[in-house]
Amino acid sequence: MNALNMLVIGITTTVGAAGAGLLAQNGEITQRRAVDRGAIWHAVWAESLSGIVGSVDLENNTFSLTTEDGASHAIRVNEDTAYTIDGEDSTAEEVLEVGAQVSATVDDNLVATGVDRASD
């Protein structure tokens, strides 16, 4: 699996709406970032970033994530961010530890909707 994948988490369409440009990639339904502004549809999508937590600043609701390609991403969290370990509910303090391998689902503003960590 690539370090950066885009997956669709919902699509709302109206009759006669233009197609959303869906593709199959890595067994997941994906959507390209290009948006047809004239179409009457709304796609809710997220990107999945996997990597190592480099730093955590919960007072400022951020953490850094370094992906396989060496890129560092500043990820923001908020009160709606869900934290899990192996899919089970957890807390930010337990999931976001420096050096932990995590997978974060983020929106187009790099705000995490969910962060999952595999147990050690």
In a shared domain, residues 38 and 79: no
pTM of the model: 0.64
According to the model, what pLDDT value does residue 109 have? 87
Residues 52 and 40 in one domain: no
Structure tokens at 4: 């950066």
Based on the domain organization, do 107 and 56 belong to the same domain?
A: yes
Same domain, 91 and 38: no
pLDDT, averaged in runs of 10, over the chain (120 residues): 42 36 40 42 66 96 95 95 96 96 92 92
Q: Could you list the residue range(s) of the whole structural domain that residue 40 is in?
A: 4-46
Specify whether 69 is located in the same domain as 100.
Answer: yes
Q: Which phi and psi (to 5°) does residue 69 adopt?
A: -80, 5
- Based on the domain organization, do 22 and 77 belong to the same domain? no
Domain count, the chain: 2
- Residues 29 and 40 reside in one and the same domain: yes
The pLDDT, as a whole number, for residue 71 is 93
